[in-house]
A and B are shown apart, each in its own frame.
Chain A
Amino acid sequence: MARTYGPWSRRLFLVGISATALALGIPLAKAQETIKVGLVAALSGQSAKSGEAIIRGLSVAIDEVNAAGGVNGKKLELVSRDDESNPGKGLLAARELVQREKVAVLFGGLDTPVSLAIVPFVNQAKVPFIGVWAAGTNITRNGAADNYVFRVSAVDAFVGEALVDYALDKKSAKAPGMILINNPWGESNEHALNDALKARDLKAVGVEKFETNDVDVVPQLTRLKQSGADALFLVANVAPSSQVVKSLERMGWNVPVVSHWGPSGGRFTELAGPRGEDVHFIQTYTFTDELSPKADKLLTALKAKYPINSLADVMPATGIANAYDALHLAALAMAKAGSNDGTAIRDALYQIDSYDGLIKTYEKPFSPENHDALGAKDYIFTHFVKGEIIPLER
């Protein structure tokens, strides 16, 4: 018996040593020289581009924080995991990041269902979870007594208000109708739009749903036209949104279309044709604005770090901008808290007085009653011009 230690027993031995070290509190390697922040987002599949945008926004902000000395003398480090737009995988990834990687703060991605799956876990684990994209109203308004979920992004409830105000005030609509994708996102917006209309003493003249793969939306739109709609609220992703525009073109119905941010997710004008430029949709940020010094600095940093040739490569800017501001807000809170304790960081988020961000100057962005840093007034209306998202006047 020459070999006393098989490969397995050797591994067990190492595990044993590590466990002992952990139990005794002996620092292994150089642990805790950095503060880890986590991201769970779609990094593959249909929405992969959204995850990429978030990583870019977070990374540039982290570089800035680290260049200025880090947080409490420690550098920030991003650990990201792919949720594949799958709620189960997202929850698993969130668990791993919190329990094994010990992230101080967790950021979330584009998919509302994934974020909703993570919400109960972070509230139980008491780790601040900051959404930077998914707009589902009940992500932050989740009813938990001890709520650790925050957001720097659009919120369906506020989007409803913004869309209604825009249609009524800018497009002088008196009898708006809705054309919505037939899924939970469309449903959540139906409620939000109805509430917002009610607040202005109006009712939708018609609500029509359609499927992602519908070729022809003319029947639904004809019904809306016959019920006298003088403006349409559109909620759908880029491909189905373009089917609505093509159907409108065929009908020769020149009605104002006011939309959620679905069209920004792809080649909208290629799919929808020239009339796609008439669709006005919300964004939280766009780079083609007159660039502020802060935006100029961010864009330069992005270009230095990533292969970016034109503004079309930083679209939709919403994801980058939300992530950038969210990380800076989180860093301020971590510095204020002075520790990596989740509850301390959460309470410190409430105490942020003012932060001059990219999207706006945040004044008291969070309070125990309000976990959403952006409101209806912070959205900008935009449209496509030759494949680029251009802001309309506020």
Chain B
Amino acid sequence: MLLTSAIVTGIGLGSMYGLIALGFHITYTVSNTVNFAQGSAMMVGAVLGFTLMVTFGMPFWISAIIALAGCAVFGLIVERLLVRPFVERNSDAWLMATVAGGIIVDNLVMFTFGKEPRSLPSPLATNSVDFLGTGVYPLQLVIPVVGIAVAVALQIVFRRTNLGKALLAVVQNRDAARLMGINAKVVVASAFAISTALAGLAGLLIAPLFSVHSDMGTLFGLKAFAVAILGGITSASGVMIAGLLYGLLEALVTAYLGSTYTQIVVFSIIILALALRPNGLLGRAAVNKV
């Protein structure tokens, strides 16, 4: 029972880390930048979902679509205001700018949404069901399915659709892509929109198991970045696998060694893993062009 519950917990949380980390992967491959406000994007997804569903009483699907669209717009704003101006001037200050942007959004939400944590009700997280001898909410089983399905769908979109091909073209050679009539600016902006929408999806999915509040995304964003690095930020499948491994490791260490040791053991293992494979589990070696 200890093992099953740890595995269910681990895979559920792991796929959330994976989804947010995929966002880091997408923007990094397309533009060599990452959005450190990913955790805040997750929170924005949950807060918008709560506001539409609970405060305005709108149906789940409409609320979810509007919330994800809101997160995508957040990504566009981050790219336009906090990343592009610095990249155009060859500065790495987008790093600090996106961190700052996340903090600003967290605080804006605290003022508007309030300081009290709230609960997003879901029919999938009301009564627990028996799963291999341990009680789980149905939502806990849905989360990894959705998480992995989205990751696979994303791969297919990248390989098969025009937007995906355009993204990959920009990744391979920005100038050649531009000559082929691909608008690189639009492609990079959409990469940011997709990445924040993924984080928003994670927020919507996890909210009923958790509580909705302004700093709910901070720790998730941090862990997801560790996951992205661990997976090798250039490989989508690597990032998703790393997410699942990270979640499992966290839950198993807590279950068998006790929660006092969780962070110490997990992060020590990450450092060890990176020492053995500096480019991550499935990542390619970065080539420094001089």
Q: List residues of chain A with CB under 8 Å of any chain B CB.
A: 45-46, 48, 182, 208-211, 213, 215-216, 218-220, 222-223, 226, 238-239, 242-243, 246, 249-252, 266-267, 270-271, 273
Residues in B with CB closer than 8 Å to A208 are 258-259
Q: Find A267's partner among B119, B254, B259 (CB 8 Å cutoff).
A: B119
If A239-B211, A250-B137 touch, whether A218 touches B119 (CB-CB below 8 Å) is no
Task: Give Cα distance in the complex from A273 to B209, angstroms.
Answer: 11
For the complex of A and B, the 5 pairs showing the least CB-CB separation, nearest first, are: A219-B255, A219-B254, A239-B117, A250-B128, A252-B135
Instruction: Check B118 against A270 for contact (C-beta < 8 Å).
Output: yes
Q: Find B2's partner among A182, A211, A213, A222 (CB 8 Å cutoff).
A: A222
Residues in B with CB closer than 8 Å to A273 are 119, 126
Instruction: Check A250 against B136 for contact (C-beta < 8 Å).
Output: yes
Residues in B with CB closer than 8 Å to A210 are 259
Instruction: Check B254 against A213 for contact (C-beta < 8 Å).
Output: no
Let me know if B98 is at the binding interface, CB within 8 A.
Answer: no
Instruction: Check B115 against A267 for contact (C-beta < 8 Å).
Output: no
Instruction: Check B118 against A250 for contact (C-beta < 8 Å).
Output: no
Residues in A with CB closer than 8 Å to B255 are 219, 222-223
Instruction: Check B128 against A249 for contact (C-beta < 8 Å).
Output: yes
Measured between C-beta atoms, what is the minimum distance from A173 to chain B in Å? 21
Instruction: Check B259 against A218 for contact (C-beta < 8 Å).
Output: no
Task: Give Cα distance in the complex from A216 to B119, angstroms.
Answer: 15
Instruction: Check B117 against A266 for contact (C-beta < 8 Å).
Output: yes
Residues in B with CB closer than 8 Å to A218 are 5-6, 9
Q: List residues of chain B with CB under 8 Å of any chain A CB.
A: 1-2, 5-6, 9, 12-13, 115-119, 126, 128, 134-137, 206, 209-211, 213, 215-216, 218-220, 251, 254-255, 258-260
Instruction: Check A226 against B209 for contact (C-beta < 8 Å).
Output: no
Q: Report whether over half of chain A's contact residues are helix, strand or loop; otherwise say mixed.
A: helix
Instruction: Check B116 against A209 for contact (C-beta < 8 Å).
Output: no
- B116, B215, B218 interface centre (most CB from chain A within 10 Å): B116
Instruction: Check B259 against A271 for contact (C-beta < 8 Å).
Output: no
If A216-B13, A219-B9, A250-B136 touch, whether A239 touches B213 (CB-CB below 8 Å) is yes
Measured between C-beta atoms, what is the minimum distance from A316 to chain B in Å? 13
Task: Give Cα distance in the complex from A250 to B126, angstroms.
Answer: 9
Residues in B with CB closer than 8 Å to A46 are 115
Instruction: Check A267 against B116 for contact (C-beta < 8 Å).
Output: yes
Since A219-B254, A222-B1, A223-B255 are in contact, a sample of 18 more A-B pairs with Cβ atoms closer than 8 Å, ordered by chain A residue number, is A211-B259, A215-B206, A215-B210, A216-B209, A216-B251, A219-B6, A219-B251, A219-B259, A220-B254, A238-B117, A239-B213, A246-B209, A250-B136, A251-B135, A252-B128, A267-B119, A273-B119, A273-B126
Instruction: Check A270 against B259 for contact (C-beta < 8 Å).
Output: no
Q: Find A209's partner among B12, B206, B220, B260 (CB 8 Å cutoff).
A: B260
If A210-B259, A252-B128 touch, whether A45 touches B115 (CB-CB below 8 Å) is yes
Residues in A with CB closer than 8 Å to B136 are 250
Measured between C-beta atoms, what is the minimum distance from B115 to chain A in Å? 5
Task: Give Cα distance in the complex from A46 to B116, angstroms.
Answer: 7
Task: Give Cα distance in the complex from A271 to B286, angstroms.
Answer: 46
- B5, B219, B251 interface centre (most CB from chain A within 10 Å): B5
Task: Give Cα distance in the complex from A208 to B261, angstroms.
Answer: 11
Residues in B with CB closer than 8 Å to A226 are 2
Measured between C-beta atoms, what is the minimum distance from A227 to chain B in Å? 11
Instruction: Check A182 against B115 for contact (C-beta < 8 Å).
Output: no
Task: Give Cα distance in the complex from A242 to B136, angstroms.
Answer: 16
Q: Which residue of A lies closest to B134 (CB)?
A: A251
Instruction: Check A243 against B210 for contact (C-beta < 8 Å).
Output: yes
Residues in A with CB closer than 8 Å to B12 are 216
Residues in A with CB closer than 8 Å to B206 are 215
Task: Give Cα distance in the complex from A226 to B256, angstroms.
Answer: 11
Instruction: Check B2 against A215 for contact (C-beta < 8 Å).
Output: no
- B12, B220, B255 interface centre (most CB from chain A within 10 Å): B255
Task: Give Cα distance in the complex from A384 to B5, angstroms.
Answer: 29
Residues in B with CB closer than 8 Å to A249 are 128, 135
- A215, A226, A267 interface centre (most CB from chain B within 10 Å): A215
Q: Find A271's partner among B134, B211, B254 (CB 8 Å cutoff).
A: B211
Residues in B with CB closer than 8 Å to A216 are 9, 12-13, 209, 251
- A210, A213, A238, A242 interface centre (most CB from chain B within 10 Å): A213
Instruction: Check B259 against A209 for contact (C-beta < 8 Å).
Output: yes
Task: Give Cα distance in the complex from A218 to B254, angstroms.
Answer: 10
Task: Give Cα distance in the complex from A257 to B119, angstroms.
Answer: 21
Instruction: Check B2 against A271 for contact (C-beta < 8 Å).
Output: no
Measured between C-beta atoms, what is the minimum distance from B149 to chain A in Å? 21
User: Can you spell out 22 A-B residue pairs with CB atoms less than 8 angstroms apart?
Assistant: A213-B215, A215-B206, A215-B209, A215-B210, A216-B13, A219-B9, A219-B255, A219-B259, A220-B254, A220-B258, A222-B5, A222-B6, A226-B2, A239-B213, A242-B119, A243-B211, A251-B5, A252-B135, A266-B116, A267-B118, A270-B118, A270-B119
Task: Give Cα distance in the complex from A242 to B116, angstroms.
Answer: 13
Q: Which residue of A lies closest to B115 (CB)?
A: A46
Residues in B with CB closer than 8 Å to A223 are 2, 255, 258
Residues in A with CB closer than 8 Å to B218 are 213
- B12, B137, B254 interface centre (most CB from chain A within 10 Å): B254
Measured between C-beta atoms, what is the minimum distance from B269 to chain A in Å? 17
- B13, B126, B258, B259 interface centre (most CB from chain A within 10 Å): B259
Task: Give Cα distance in the complex from A322 to B134, angstroms.
Answer: 44
Q: Which residue of B lies closest to A266 (CB)?
A: B116
Residues in B with CB closer than 8 Å to A215 are 13, 206, 209-210
Instruction: Check A219 against B209 for contact (C-beta < 8 Å).
Output: no
